[in-house]
Amino acid sequence: MDSYLSVRSLASVVAQGLLQEVAERLDVPLEELVLLAVTYPGEKLLLKPQDRLYSDSLTAVGRLHVCRKDLSEVMNPFTDNAELQQRSARMLSMNTWDVAVTLTNFDWSVFNSIHEVCDIIFCPSPTL
């Protein structure tokens, strides 16, 4: 079962600090978690515990994912690709929940950007 958690952090936070916060909130041992950065082109970067989350080297990050270390891709047992068999973390592709959350956040950001408070004044015309 997937869990979704929103965490706000300071710009100076390192990956270890974020992992510790997520582990506490989800009640999961810290040693079982890894932090992955997914860039907009789809590249996945495994962050080291001392890496800063907000740095010039990670400007193209689209989303951060915390995954269990022991998850692996569901693969055909007859595959001979050694690189695929040695993967220690699995990333889920964008599902309908992610799409819905992204679209809702986008709608609210657009609404907040263009929403203006207007006073409507009704002036009744004099009756003749």
How far apart are the C-alpha atoms of 6 and 19, rounded to whole Å?
13
Output the pLDDT for position 103: 84
pLDDT means per 10 residues, the chain with 128 residues, are: 68 84 85 80 79 65 74 40 50 69 81 63 62
Q: Are 40 and 60 in contact (CB under 8 A)?
A: yes
CATH topology classification for 15-114: Ubiquitin-like (UB roll) (3.10.20)
Q: Are 72 and 90 in contact (CB under 8 A)?
A: yes
pTM over the 0.75 mark: no
Output the pLDDT for position 59: 56
- Other Cβ atoms less than 10 A from the Cβ of 32: the count is 13
Output the pLDDT for position 115: 57
Output the pLDDT for position 117: 55
